[in-house]
């Protein structure tokens, strides 16, 4: 029983510089991961809307450029809004409509 009482008061070393370096590395890695996942880019000719997991689709339309979002809650949905030519087939004999 006397041995158990002496085990309760054992003090462990603080860990020194290796422990502090590990804490800084983990905190820095998590910060970098969060910062990289909070940015998204909308290319030229595209627009984006934001889907929020709590409130649904937001009303604002985001133009081209780099924007911020809240990671794990917001998700950008990017649409192509560029104008495209539509070719229409006609039955005319030539371009000036002469047969």
Structural domain of 64 = 39-83
Domain count for the chain: 1
What confidence tens digit (pLDDT) does each residue in 34-92 have? 888 999 999 999 999 999 999 999 999 999 999 999 988 999 999 999 988 888 776 76
Q: Is 24 part of a structural domain of the chain?
A: no
pTM here is 0.60
**Do 52 and 74 form a contact (C-beta atoms < 8 A)?**
yes
Q: Is 45 part of a structural domain of the chain?
A: yes
**Which 8-state DSSP code applies to residue 56?**
E
User: Can you give the pLDDT at residue 97?
Assistant: 59
Q: Is 34 part of a structural domain of the chain?
A: no
Arithmetic mean of pLDDT, 19-48: 93
**Do 52 and 76 form a contact (C-beta atoms < 8 A)?**
no
Q: Is 28 part of a structural domain of the chain?
A: no
User: Can you give the pLDDT at residue 85?
Assistant: 86
């Amino acid at each position: 029983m006397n041995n158990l009482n002496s085990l309760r008061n054992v003090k462990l070393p603080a860990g020194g510089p290796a422990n502090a370096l590990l804490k800084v590395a983990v905190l820095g890695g998590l910060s970098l991961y969060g910062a990289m996942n909070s940015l998204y880019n909308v290319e030229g000719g595209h627009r984006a809307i934001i889907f929020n997991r709590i409130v649904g689709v937001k009303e604002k339309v985001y133009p081209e450029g780099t924007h911020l979002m809240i990671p794990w809650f917001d998700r950008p949905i990017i649409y192509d809004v560029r104008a495209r030519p539509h070719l229409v087939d006609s039955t005319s004999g030539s371009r000036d409509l002469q047969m």
